[in-house]
Amino acid sequence: MNYTPLNEAYNIHHINSQSYSQSIIYSSNCIFCQSQDTTALMLNQDNGAFRHCNNKGCRKNFRANILSKPIDNYIKSTTHLKGTN
């Protein structure tokens, strides 16, 4: 049986690194209240993809938006995967 090493168990691989031509940069703005006072929840594991808002009226956890530009044909090649909502 193959066991996952403990120091790799919580690594998050939710973005295909080949979808972006550069390193992936995440927004630090809260998606609920637009506050810039946010903290990365697991900076070493996901580079700031999951964040916590420190605004007293919000204080929510969220997944940050990606600011990096995807490769040229990424949007064109994935349009068929989007829902019709």
Q: Which domain holds residue 47?
A: 25-81
76 versus 37: which is more confidently predicted? 37
Domain count of the chain? 1
Q: Is the pLDDT score of 78 beyond 70? A: no
% residues pLDDT > 90 (the chain): 33
pLDDT at 6 over 80: no
Please indicate, yes or no, if residue 13 is contained in any of the structural domains: no
Do the strands 38-40 and 61-63 form a parallel or antiparallel pair, or are they unpaired?
unpaired
Distance CA 12, CA 42 (A): 9
Examine the pLDDT at 60 and tell me if it is beyond 80. yes
Among candidate residues 44, 34, 57, 41, the one with its CA nearest the CA of residue 7: 44
> Higher-confidence residue: 11 or 53?
53
Instruction: Give domain status of residue 71, yes or no.
Output: yes
Structure confidence at residue 61 (pLDDT): 94
pLDDT at 84 over 70: no
State if pTM tops 0.85: no
For residue 11, being part of any structural domain is answered with: no
H-run or E-run covering 51: strand 50-53
Q: Exposed, middle or buried: residue 20 (CB in 10 Å: 0-12, 13-18, 19+)? A: middle
3-state secondary structure of 40: strand
Query: Strand 50-53 relative to strand 38-40: parallel, antiparallel, unpaired?
Result: antiparallel
Residue that is written with structure tokens 């697991």 in the block: 42
Asked, for residue 5, whether it belongs to a domain, the answer is no
